Amino acid sequence: MTLNQWDDNILILELLDEPDFSDDTDTLLTKLRGNDDAYCNVIIDLQNVGTLNSSNLGALIEIKKLLETKDKRMVICNISDSIWSTMLATGLDQVFEFIEDTTTALLLIGS
């Protein structure tokens, strides 16, 4: 996992395929649950993820819900066509916020 604290307000999580995906999202969830100071806007970079399973989707939903309780945003970027198909098929394209790439996400979330 690459978990980069970009600044005080933005965290970038660069995820990998399983089993790393679950380990990495569990690490972030533990951090968020255990520390109110850990809350910041989160950019989820899926550039290195080929597929998502139901547990992965559940973790992303939980991260989003936790962040929303503190008025923070989660955006997902760098997704492949197969992941976009999964989002469309599950209706999660209406739940998550998607941005083309990390640079654009940093510009939009940082403003």
Enumerate residues 6+ apart whose C-beta is below 8 A from 50: 17, 80, 82, 83
Q: How far apart are CA 29 and CA 27, in angstroms?
A: 6
List the chain domain ranges. 2-110
Topology, domain 2-110? Transcription Regulator spoIIAA (3.30.750)
Do residues 99 and 75 make contact, with C-beta atoms less than 8 angstroms apart?
A: yes
Residue with tokens 């955006």: 75
pLDDT tens-place values along the chain, 111 residues long: 577 788 889 999 999 998 888 999 998 899 888 877 778 999 999 999 999 999 999 999 999 999 999 999 999 999 999 999 999 999 999 999 999 999 999 998 876
Any idea which residue has 């996400």 for tokens? 105
Distances (CA, A) of 52 to 20, 21, 23, 35, 48: 12, 9, 14, 27, 11
Q: Is 38 helix (H, G, I), strand (E, B) or coil?
A: helix
